[in-house]
Amino acid sequence: MGRAAVEMPSGPTSTDRGELALPGGGADAMDTGRSPSAAEEAIDSVSTKAEEVAAYHSSEAKRARLQSMLAALLDDPILADVPRKPSLADVDTLINLELGSAMRITVVKLDSTSFDVAVLNTATVKDLKMAIRKKINEIEQEQMGHRHISWKHIWDNYCLTHQSEKLMDDNFVLSSHGIRNNSKVSFLPHIMSRVYRKHSRRRKHRFFHGLSRKM
């Protein structure tokens, strides 16, 4: 009876070498799953802070460029009507002015100097008064800093007129008084209240200085 041929492995097996076979890559797989060291965490933290600082400086640079561009635009004579700090309502009114849905009105002060305001074609006398108040406050702020003006006293003792017609009713639509684009309105004293008659000349001057002084 012949001998059966038995094949033997040509080299040592993993069992012979004493290695433990693990799924997914053996011993090396254990190394890849280890927690990051303290040094690696510190490096990541420094890198993150550096990125935040770079992003902050980039944002500041963009803001500075935008402010510079805005200042240059506002200095353009074409945009002379735009306030230094325009609100959405201001921008909306100016857009309507270009589209013909708003009108520019010249307001003549007591010293015969004037300034312009823009209001919608559907504006009332009250809307015009608000536009005048906003404009004068802006001018006062630019030239003298914050200064309180008693608008109650002004409207109690002065009224607006258009072609000798007094605009006494705040709810009247301006167009009903014949006011159109490029119309002029003026300040005019009307009957003083009994309380106002007791005011000194110096106090009167303080109340109405903003209306009579050149701007």
The DSSP line for 9-58 is -SS--HHHHTPPP-TTTTHHHHHHTSPPPHHHHHHHHHHHHHHHHHHHHH
Whether residues 74 and 166 fall in one domain:
no
Last residue of one domain, picked from the residues 80, 97, 127:
80
Has residue 31 been placed in a domain?
no
Both tokens of residue 179? Answer: 């006011």
Highest mean pLDDT pick, 2-6, 25-29, 31-35, 69-73: 69-73
Whether residues 169 and 204 fall in one domain:
yes
The pLDDT of residue 125 is 96
Containing domain of residue 118, as a range?
A: 88-212
The three-state secondary structure class of 199 is: coil
Q: How sure is the predictor about 35, in pLDDT bands with cuts at 50, 70 and 90?
A: low
The pLDDT of residue 156 is 87
Q: Which residues contact 79 (CB under 8 A, 6 or more apart)?
A: 73
Both tokens of residue 183? Answer: 């119309």
**Structural domains counted in the chain:** 2
Instruction: Give 190-210 pLDDT, tens digit per residue.
Output: 765 454 444 444 444 454 555
> Does pTM top 0.85 for this prediction?
no
Where residue 185 sits, what CATH number does that domain have?
3.10.20.90
Distance (Å, rounded) from C-alpha 5 to C-alpha 182?
117
Whether residues 179 and 125 fall in one domain:
yes
Long-range contacts of 199-205 (CB under 8 A, 24+ apart): none
pLDDT, greater one: 95 or 12: 95
Indicate if the pLDDT at residue 150 is higher than 50: yes
Q: What's the burial of 160, exposed, middle or buried (CB within 10 Å: 0-12/13-18/19+)?
A: buried
The pLDDT of residue 87 is 76
The pLDDT of residue 95 is 84
Has residue 75 been placed in a domain?
yes
